[in-house]
Amino acid sequence: MKTLDDHMKTPYRMEIIEDEDEGGYVVSYPDLPGCITCGETIESAIANALDAKKAWIIAALEDGIDI
């Protein structure tokens, strides 16, 4: 069974979309359903995405969800 560290090292595909209505950027991981966040700059959106990815993986592991 993979650990949190194993999953954090896995290069899950990250999608970054500019939010033309609200401004900033929306980031999601298509392989991690519901793992989505945003940021005012690309840099902040990516940093937020890494935090969201970690939180999503921790929750999935705790709930016994296959990743």
More confident residue, 67 or 40: 40
- Right CATH for 4-63 from 3.10.20.30, 3.40.50.800, 3.30.160.250, 3.50.50.60: 3.30.160.250
Strand ranges, E, within the chain: 15-18, 25-28, 36-39
CA 36 vs CA 2, 39, 49: distances in Å: 22, 11, 7
Domain boundaries, the chain: 4-63
Q: Which residue has the tokens 């969800």?
A: 65
Q: Does the pLDDT value for residue 63 go beyond 90?
A: yes
pLDDT band of 1, cuts 50, 70, 90: confident
User: Own/partner pairs for 12-16, CB < 8 Å, 24+ apart?
Assistant: 12/53, 14/46, 14/49, 16/42, 16/45, 16/46
- Say what the pLDDT of residue 26 is: 98
Q: pLDDT tens-digit profile of 12-47?
A: 999 999 999 999 999 999 999 999 999 999 999 999
- Residue of 63, 60, 62 lying closest to 10 (CA atoms): 60
- Say what the pLDDT of residue 67 is: 85
